[in-house]
Amino acid sequence: MRINDAVTGAVLLAFAIAMFAYARTLPAIPGQEYGAAVFPMLIATGLAGCGVVMIASGRRRWQGAVAWNDWARTHHAWVRLAVVIALVLAYILAAPILGFVPMSIVILLVFLLMMGVRWWIAAAVAFAATILIQQTFAGLLRVPLPLGLLGP
Amino acid sequence: MSAIQTALGLVFQPTVLVTIFLAALFGLVVGAIPGLTATMAIALLVPVTFFMDPVPAVGAMVTCSAMAIFAGDIPGTLLRIPGTPASAAYSDEAYMMTRNGEGEIALGANLLFSVIGGLFGTVVLILAAPVLAEVALQFSSFEYFWLALLGLTCAVFIGTGSPVKGLVSLFIGLFVATIGLNNPAGVPRFTFGSTELTGGVNFIAAMIGLFAVSEVFRFAISHSVQAGPQAVMGNLFRGWGRMMVQYWPQQLRGNVLGTIIGALPGAGADIAAWVSYAISKKMSRTPEKYGKGHVEGIIESTSSNNAALAGAWVPALVFGIPGDSITAIVIGVLYLKNMNPGPMIFLNNPQYIYAVFIIFILANLVMLPLGWAAIKGARTILRIPREILMPCILMFCIVGAFAVNNSAFGVAVMLVFGVLGFLMEENDIPVAPCILGIVLGPTLEENFVTSMIKSDGSYLAFFERPIAGALGVATLLVWLVPVLLMALRSRKAAAPRQG
């Protein structure tokens, strides 16, 4: 999925303008000319410059806003990408309630089955990997992984 | 002398040695699997090292990166798929050798000259770093500003195909570095009232996203069929003596060039290998043999990429300026461990520096037996099904990003950067300048603002001190030369039309 440089450039330019406007509102250190605002404003200026150059070069090679390469034409690839992102989102939202172990098993199972792994291998891997990660991080490194349902 | 003894005591402890050994195995496996890069190996390792003492943490990262860079040669030779980008320069050549039935010579050369290259770079690191540290003691904010800028400049102009896209990546990284309270004025910037963001975007979570999660996304959309590799049956040590005698100039050139390119801020093992392969071909007496399975270029570039790894540590340890994305990650970790790189560490904690040197030597020596084992076990390693590996890596990333602050916010940061990294790579925007920007952003800003306040807003002061002036001119040259060349070329192209 190649987004045309002109589109990327326009997005960057808009972002840079917003960033510059925001940076201007940052308070100065009393009695100093150079404070928190200088550096973000310089970055915004640089980013805006890149945006303009990319708009110019993208317009010269315009073939539509997005050029779809092989993977992006297939419906399956998009679904798989969306599922993986959704799995991470699901962890962020549900792990504090359900706990690490159930979420990890679900995420691994869904991802493994989606990639065409046979169900019994997928189940075995999901359990084994979850226990291994749980033992390493919660056991060895004392990371307080969310207990959720398994907790008190 | 006592500092060296302390360092030996720090390194030669069972826990440290076991850590290094495990990191070596991990690096070998990750490096050998196509699609998993050396940088990804480090990114996956960092959440674990986060909980270690400084010496085992650094030891694990040094060993893991050295092994991964070597192991990238294995699938390059057997499958024509480089395991890491640093092996891409010569994987065609090495694969041709395999097809000619000389696979064991190619892999043997990769192993031998990786070790020698790594040791050469280490010697340079040991000799050069303390000397440079003496010089660096006299540096003020002006010099550090220019060094940081020079590092970022090289990352953009040398390390990437398109300077504009490199710059975009760099500015994104610098922007990310400005988020939070960590600025000279102590003002919350771009936090929009979020308490999580006041501490800034967590560097480890961002890096896991950029280097590991984006790779998982790319795997999810591809459906490549895994090819079965050929086994290497012959004797790996065949021809080692002959190659060392016959190709010593190539090897030495690869070592020297690799170390220099590695030490250049912003350019690392990948570029070292490409440059060395090109130079080897240019200087060779038999350039026609290149690309048809000739070991000469492999020797020079495989020496070069491992030498670059140690070379990259010179600016990282002495100035705190990373030489490539791996050392950028390492510097981020060193800061977290209160082992701030810079000349002061050579004075106050020299035992840590010596410990790093000892680990480098150890890592390169242990590469010989472990590398041999990895080549012999290549069939098994390359058969590990990626559809099973990648989901496990994703879960590992999630837990790693969570462990940094024990909050789901880290996982969210990881996801955002995973999507960002994926989109950037899809559009040929390099990721490395972004991570350098995140790491160097605070240094650059602090030294810039301090310098501006010191000089009362005069830009001339940036050139008044001799070293600062030289660094400044060098930085400006890197900016101006490509522009001048482009102008010259367009004039040349325009000239015939006028005439």
Q: What is the pLDDT of residue B419?
A: 95
What is the tens place of the pLDDT at every residue in B469-496? 888 888 888 888 877 887 787 777 666 5
Q: What is the pLDDT of residue B498?
A: 46
Answer whether residue B441 is part of any domain: yes
Please judge whether A125 and B185 are an interchain contact, meaning their C-beta atoms are less than 8 angstroms apart. Answer: no
For residue B231, give every residue at least 6 positions away whose Cβ sits within 8 Å of its Cβ, in sequence order, or none.
Answer: B378, B379
Query: Taking 60 as the threshold, does the pLDDT of residue B446 lie above it?
Result: yes
Enter the pTM of the model. 0.86
- Tokens for B498? 């006028």
Q: Are the CB atoms for A100 and B411 separated by under 8 Å?
A: no
Out of B3-7, B10-14, B100-104, pick the least confident: B100-104
* Chain A: closest CA distance from residue B412 (Å): 7
Domain with B113 in it: 2-489
Q: Are the CB atoms for B411 and B205 separated by under 8 Å?
A: yes
Range list of β-strands (E), B27-181:
none
Domain count, chain B: 1
Q: Are the CB atoms for B333 and B136 separated by under 8 Å?
A: no
Q: What is the pLDDT of residue B223?
A: 62
Mean pLDDT, chain B, rounded, equals: 84
Answer whether residue B97 is part of any domain: yes
Residue B345: CA atoms inside 13 Å, Cβ hemisphere, count?
23
Residues of chain A found within 8 Å of residue B396, distances taken between Cβ atoms: 133
Percent of chain B with pLDDT over 70: 95
At B226, is the pLDDT very low, low, confident or very high (cuts 50, 70, 90)? low
* Site of tokens 């308490």: B195
Whole-angstrom Cα distance, residue B441 to residue B432? 14
Please judge whether B399 and A137 are an interchain contact, meaning their C-beta atoms are less than 8 angstroms apart. Answer: yes
Answer whether residue B123 is part of any domain: yes
Query: Taking 70 as the threshold, does the pLDDT of residue B229 lie above it?
Result: no
* Chain B: closest CA distance from residue A9 (Å): 9
Q: Residues of B numbered 12-71 whose beta carbons fall under 8 angstroms of chain A's beta carbons: which are they?
A: 48, 51
Answer whether residue B499 is part of any domain: no
Query: Taking 90 as the threshold, does the pLDDT of residue A92 lie above it?
Result: yes
At B227, is the pLDDT very low, low, confident or very high (cuts 50, 70, 90)? low
Using DSSP's 3-state secondary structure scheme, residue B367 falls into helix
Query: Taking 80 as the threshold, does the pLDDT of residue B305 lie above it?
Result: yes
What burial letters (b/e) apply to B323-333, b meaning 16+ CB within 10 Å? bbbbbbbbbbb
Query: Taking 50 as the threshold, does the pLDDT of residue A116 lie above it?
Result: yes
Q: What is the pLDDT of residue B1?
A: 56
Percent of chain A with pLDDT over 90: 47
Answer whether residue B497 is part of any domain: no
- Tokens for B127? 């000799």
Cβ-nearest to A40 among B167, B189, B457: B189
Query: Taking 80 as the threshold, does the pLDDT of residue B237 lie above it?
Result: no
Phi first, then psi, for residue B70 (nearest 5°) are -65, -45
Residues of chain B found within 8 Å of residue A38, distances taken between Cβ atoms: 448-449, 452
What is the tens place of the pLDDT at every residue in B307-349? 998 888 888 888 888 877 888 888 888 888 878 888 888 888 8
What is the tens place of the pLDDT at every residue in B116-171? 999 999 999 988 888 888 888 888 889 888 888 888 887 787 666 788 888 999 99
At B64, is the pLDDT very low, low, confident or very high (cuts 50, 70, 90)? very high
Tell me the mean pLDDT in the region A48-53. Answer: 92
What is the tens place of the pLDDT at every residue in B194-225? 888 888 888 888 988 998 899 899 888 876 65
Q: What is the pLDDT of residue B173?
A: 93
Answer whether residue B495 is part of any domain: no
At A18, is the pLDDT very low, low, confident or very high (cuts 50, 70, 90)? very high
Query: Taking 80 as the threshold, does the pLDDT of residue A103 lie above it?
Result: yes
Q: What is the pLDDT of residue A152?
A: 64
Q: Are the CB atoms for A60 and A110 separated by under 8 Å?
A: no
Query: Taking 70 as the threshold, does the pLDDT of residue B44 lie above it?
Result: yes
User: At CB < 8 A and 24+ separation, what contacts does B402-406 make?
Assistant: B402/A143, B402/A145, B403/A137, B403/A141, B403/A143, B403/B47, B403/B50, B403/B51, B404/B47, B404/B50, B404/B202, B404/B204, B404/B205, B405/B199, B405/B202, B406/A143, B406/A144
Q: What is the pLDDT of residue B24?
A: 93
Cβ-nearest to A38 among B168, B406, B449: B449
Q: What is the pLDDT of residue B10?
A: 85
Answer whether residue B496 is part of any domain: no
B141-157 and B163-178 helices, crossing angle to 10°: 140
Please judge whether B190 and A137 are an interchain contact, meaning their C-beta atoms are less than 8 angstroms apart. Answer: no
What residue of B is the nearest CA neighbor of A23?
Answer: B189
Residues linked to residue A67 through DSSP beta bridges, in sequence order: A2
Cβ-nearest to A39 among B178, B418, B419: B178
SS (H, E, C) chain A: CEECHHHHHHHHHHHHHHHHHHHHCCCCCCCCCCCCCHHHHHHHHHHHHHHHHHHHHHHHCCCCCEECCHHHHCHHHHHHHHHHHHHHHHHHHHHHHHCHHHHHHHHHHHHHHHCCCCHHHHHHHHHHHHHHHHHHHHHHCCCCCCCHHHCC
Answer whether residue B474 is part of any domain: yes
Whole-angstrom Cα distance, residue B430 to residue B330? 19
Residue B150, CA distances (Å) to B167, B199, B413 in order: 13, 27, 29
What is the tens place of the pLDDT at every residue in B132-145? 888 888 888 898 88
At B499, is the pLDDT very low, low, confident or very high (cuts 50, 70, 90)? very low
Complex ipTM more than 0.90, yes or no: yes
At A86, is the pLDDT very low, low, confident or very high (cuts 50, 70, 90)? very high
Please judge whether B391 and A57 are an interchain contact, meaning their C-beta atoms are less than 8 angstroms apart. Answer: no
Tell me the mean pLDDT in the region B391-415. Answer: 89
Q: Are the CB atoms for B190 and A22 separated by under 8 Å?
A: yes
* Site of tokens 């990650």: B329
Residue type, B173: G
Total CB pairs under 8 A between chain A and B: 163
Q: What is the pLDDT of residue B233?
A: 63
Q: Are the CB atoms for B42 and B329 separated by under 8 Å?
A: yes
Query: Nearest-CA neighbor of B178 among B201, B194, B196?
Result: B201
